[in-house]
Structure 1
Amino acid sequence: MTALWLTRIQPNLRHRDARRDLSSAVAMHHRIMQLFPDGLGAQARRQAGALFRTEDTGPTPVVLLQSQLRPDLDQLPTDFASSVTKDLSPLLDALRPGLPVRYRIIANAVRKPGHTTRAATGAPAVIPLTGAEADEWWQRQAEEHSGLHLSTAHSTPLDSARGQRGQDQRRITHARTQFDGAATIKDPDLLRQRILDGIGRGKAYGCGLLTLAPTRQAA
């Protein structure tokens, strides 16, 4: 059984560091990684299986952190946030063909033109998608690569994830779209892997975390 944890972190907006981390995807990435052991190597995020997203739908922002290592919440600064962790392994084990679920993902929907197209048109290496193109991107990701059959899909454009990396001063920008809806599981094994790995680009900076909740069926 694969260990999987979901941690809900509600930052204290009166805390200066919390406000700073919420304003920068890079800062939030560093804060998240402080919750895991040192020595995980150059691919520390992948070794921890860490994915996160920030949700602003309630009165205060909430950070959802999924990880294959249990985070050490004592590493958060005093009064930084309220937080709680639960075991997601039973959900992974319960996935089966035909199970109806609700889903949510904040994703970096993009198109990457080939070298020939870029040379001929001057197109950038990565083109953010919006509107119907973003919806089509998510349908392909879900149905062809994630073991889901979508019943409904609603997309909401969000502000881009932004920040500045300290080691090279590179500016990070990842366009974000939130996708919500209902689906039926087609391939549980493929879906488990996509839940663990995340979907799309920008996984270190708040994109790619797919969460599911089984839909209650009438008796």
Structure 2
Amino acid sequence: MYLSRVEIDSNNRAKTRDLTHLGAYHNWVEQSFPAEVEAGERQRHLWRIDQLSGKRYLLILSEEKPDATKLAMYGVQGTVMTKSYDHLLDTLQDGQRLQFRLTANPTHTITKPGERQGRVVPHITIAQQRQWLIARAEKSGFELMQSVSAENPDGQPVWSFDIVGREWPTLHRRTDRGVRLSRVTFEGLLQISDVATFKETLIKGIGREKAFGMGLMTVIPEA
């Protein structure tokens, strides 16, 4: 596995004029693997957009290395970086605490009486979105801790993560004029409860709309 990053050249509007919706970013990611495109056997690539210190980055997790030239298509010159992700995966162990960042599409299914198939709708409130992640932690191989803070006068436990970004980017599909997807970014601290399952979570992602920049969780050792 490889983790790649490039700074998006946001200040060059002529260069990035095509990046107006999630489908354009998806196409950028796919075109960064020309061998797969040519063979007609495209792999699933997890990706997301990070905003750090006023700069925007495209981050990709993939089985094969992307083509650096293609990845730099909308990027700042000299900012393409690719490194092996296997070393990190090999060092993970049960009980380990890690800082994490996850961009996801929190949704739930509403099924009315008499319907065979429910309707998938986004969670709207911060409380709903936080609970969405809490509910998925155990089956994803990790735990989200709770603690009682002295700054919390009612004595209610405080979770070890928070929501640091909420957006509604546009996705243009072929069948309609476009839809807006809920994009939520979580950051915090987790503890691995099932290392094999957790590795699968890092590789395969969490939630829906993975092709359009959702589901990628990255981790670093606890500070």
Do both share a fold (TM > 0.5)?
yes
CA-to-aligned-CA distance 1:86-141 (integer Å, 9 cap, x gap): 1110111111101110011011001111242879xxxx812211211111110111
- Asked if 1 retains the 8 angstrom alpha-carbon contact of 2:104 and 2:185, the reply is yes
Which of 39, 55, 60 is equivalent to 2:55? Answer: 60
Q: Does 1:193 align with 2:190?
A: no
Corresponding position: 1:207 with 2:204: no
The alignment's TM-score, normalised by the length of structure 2, stands at 0.82
Q: 1:185-207, CA deviations, whole angstroms, 9 ceiling, x for partnerless residues?
A: 11010011111111111111111
Please list every run of 5 or more consecutive structure 1 residues that lacks an aligned counterpart in the other structure.
Answer: none
Partner of 1:174: 181
Alpha-carbon distance change, 40 to 195 in structure 1, aligned in 2, over 3 angstroms: farther
Asked whether 1:32 is paired with 2:53, we answer no
What fraction of aligned residue pairs are identical, expressed as a percent?
Answer: 27
- Higher helix proportion, which one? 1
Amino acid at match of 1:146: S
1:132 partnered with 2:127:
yes
Q: Are the aligned partners of 1:161 and 1:206 in contact in 2 as well (CA < 8 Å)?
A: no
CA gap 1:188/1:205 in 2 versus in 1, 3 angstroms: same
Q: CA RMSD in A?
A: 2.2
Contact preservation (8 Å) 1:148, 1:187 = yes
Quick one: distance in 1 between partners of 2:114 and 2:4? Answer: 42
State the match for 2:16 in structure 1: 18
Deviation at 1:170, TM superposition (A): 5.1
TM-score, reference length from structure 1: 0.83
Helix, strand or coil at the partner of 2:54: coil
Distance of 1:16 and 1:24 partners within structure 2: 16
Question: 1:172/1:53 Cα in 2 relative to 1: closer, same or farther (>3 Å)?
Answer: same
Q: Residues of 2 paired with 1:79 and 1:126: CA distance?
A: 33
What letter corresponds to residue 18 of structure 2 in structure 1? Answer: R
Deviations 1:24-56 (A, max 9, x none): 1110000010011224547x2xx2x31111112
Shift of 1:58: 2.0
Q: Deviations over 1:148-200 (max 9, x none)?
A: 111201013421131313x4455242201111110111101001111111111
Q: CA deviation at 1:212?
A: 0.7
Is the CA contact 2:109–2:121 (under 8 Å) kept in the aligned structure 1? yes
Q: For residue 90 of structure 1, what is the aligned residue in structure 2?
A: 87
Gaps of 5+ in 2: 146-159
Matched residue SS, 2:16: helix
Shift in CA distance, 198/40, structure 1 to aligned 2, threshold 3 Å = farther
Q: Is the CA contact 2:167–2:183 (under 8 Å) kept in the aligned structure 1?
A: yes
CA distance in 1, matches of 2:220, 2:181: 26
The answer on 1:111 being equivalent to 2:108 is: yes
Confirm or deny that 1:148 pairs with 2:142.
Answer: yes
